[in-house]
Each structure stands twice: as C-alpha cells, then as structure tokens.
C-alpha cells in the first residue's frame, strides 16, 4: 500500500482536482474530459486511458450514488431497464476488444474515433439541451409507456458500447436521453438514476479492461487523490455558480478535443 501512494504524480492529482471540480459543479465532464487529458496531455495509450478512466468513474460515481440513494432520488426501475441493455452490450464490447487485440492499430483507431463521436454528442447535448427539449415537447411529447421501456433498454445498450470503447457518454448523453424518455421525472431523480446506472456500467467495463491489461493503477490513485476532495467541495459550492456558463465552457473545450481526435 505504501508503494502505491509513494508514486503519486502531482500533475495527475491536479488533473483530478480540475475534472473532479467540474463534475461536482455540473455532473458532467468525468470521462469526457479525463480520457482526452490522459491521451493528449500525458501521452497515455488510448486503451489504457479508457480503462483507467472507467474505474476512476466507477469509484467517483459510487459516492454520488450513495448520496442520491440516501436522498431517495434514484428510480431503480429505470436503472434496471438501462442495465438490461448496457450489461450484455458491455460484455460483448469487451469480448470484441479481446478478439480484435486491444493493442492493434485497428482497435486504437476504433477507440479514438468512438471517443471523438461520443465527445461530439456530449458537446452537442450541452449546447442544445434547452432548444432540443422545447422542440421535443412541442413535436413529440409523452411517449407510449411500452415504447419508453423498449427505448430505455436500447439507450442502455448504446451507452454500454460507447462507454466501454471510449469511457464517455454515461453522463451528458445518458441524462439527455432520460429527460426525453421521462419528461415528468424530477431532474434530481434523472441525475440520480443516471449516476446509479453508471456505477455497474463503468465497473463491468473497467473489470473487462483490467482483464485486458489496460488499467494503470498508479495513475488511477493519483487522479482519485485530487478528484475525490474536489468533487465534495465543488458539490457544496455549485449553488453559487452559473450552471449555464460552466456547461457552455465545457462544450467549447469538448469541441476542440473532438477536432483533435478526428484528425489524429
């Protein structure tokens, strides 16, 4: 245990503080920022960045799930429907990575392009959430309950693939999908349900990546040393910060990262 903490890198700790602060303020930005930072700033291998970030996300969101569970802001039926789609697709994605060869050029290309795709849709959802919701309410409205059930499972399946390949999507994309599928659900329950679903999803995908040997424990510990206290502090201070300003700024950063990944 001593050797684990003796190799803590202050630069990773600082990165953990920055990303943890953003997650605390907005609930978004974990995978969508941490994975690009690891790849573009620190030069970490893409598959290692994704695998390490998955366990990082699992640990940080477990704390959020405990709080939401205590406050009864989790709809466990919705979590179950999402997991019904995400668990098998996560397992299939891990098996596909294993058979294709996680270190092969083809797989690295798939990971970076999927990451760019997921980041683009995350930025899209951050910028256009309000106008999209207005259009959705005016033109589509409330869906048939049976269709909502099927679409919830399909959403989980899509998130299972995206998160396993890129570690991105469980936050912003998941929340936006739930808002559209369950327009009458209070926002606290939507966020709580999305975070609760992200825990088994990122844990399962993270375990899969650990079997593939794409986890860097020392980077993981360094990131957590910075992010865990930052998330707590930022969550307390979030009421005093303009959520819109933070989301727009995050969206601009993500679009710049997308351009970098798509032209790698």
- Range 25-42 average pLDDT: 80
Which tens digits make up the pLDDT trace of 183-217? Answer: 888 877 888 898 899 999 999 999 999 999 889 99
Least Cα distance to 258 among 127, 89, 100 occurs for 127
Number of domain units in the chain: 1
Which tens digits make up the pLDDT trace of 4-22? Answer: 566 788 999 999 988 887 7
Structural domain range at position 240: 2-262
| Rounded Cα–Cα distance for residues 181 and 193 (Å) | 13
Q: Which residues contact 96 (CB under 8 A, 6 or more apart)?
A: none
pTM score, two decimals?
Answer: 0.84
> Whole-number mean pLDDT of the chain?
84
| Rounded Cα–Cα distance for residues 66 and 195 (Å) | 10
**Maximum distance among all Cα pairs of the chain, rounded to whole angstroms:** 59
| Rounded Cα–Cα distance for residues 164 and 182 (Å) | 25
DSSP string, 216-258: -HHHHHHHHHHHHHHHHHHHHHGGGS-HHHHHHHHHHHHHHHH
Which tens digits make up the pLDDT trace of 75-94? Answer: 999 999 999 999 999 999 99
Q: Which pLDDT value is given to residue 238? A: 58
Least Cα distance to 198 among 160, 249, 148 occurs for 160
């Amino acid at each position: 245990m001593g050797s684990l903490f003796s190799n803590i890198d202050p630069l990773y700790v600082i990165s953990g503080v920055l990303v943890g602060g953003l997650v605390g303020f907005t609930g978004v930005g974990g995978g969508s920022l941490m994975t690009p930072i690891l790849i573009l700033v620190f030069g970490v291998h893409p598959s290692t960045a994704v695998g390490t970030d998955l366990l990082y996300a699992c640990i940080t969101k477990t704390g959020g799930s405990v709080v939401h569970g205590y406050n009864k802001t989790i709809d466990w039926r919705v979590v179950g429907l999402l997991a019904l789609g995400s668990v098998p697709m996560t397992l299939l994605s891990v098996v596909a990575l294993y058979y294709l060869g996680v270190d092969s050029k083809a797989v690295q290309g798939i990971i970076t392009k999927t990451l760019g795709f997921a980041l683009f849709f995350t930025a899209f959802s951050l910028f256009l959430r309000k106008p999209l919701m207005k259009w959705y309410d005016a033109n589509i409205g409330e869906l048939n309950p049976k269709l909502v059930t099927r679409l919830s499972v399909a959403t989980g399946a899509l998130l299972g693939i995206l998160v396993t390949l890129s570690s991105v999507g469980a936050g912003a994309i998941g929340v936006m999908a739930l808002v559209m599928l369950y327009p009458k659900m209070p926002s606290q329950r939507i966020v709580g349900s999305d975070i609760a679903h992200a825990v088994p999803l990122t844990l399962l995908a993270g375990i899969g990546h650990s079997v593939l040997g794409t986890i860097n424990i020392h980077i993981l510990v360094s990131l957590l040393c910075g992010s865990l206290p930052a998330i707590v502090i930022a969550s307390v201070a979030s009421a005093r910060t303009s959520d819109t300003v933070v989301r727009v700024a995050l969206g601009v950063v993500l679009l710049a990262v997308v351009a970098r990944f798509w032209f790698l």
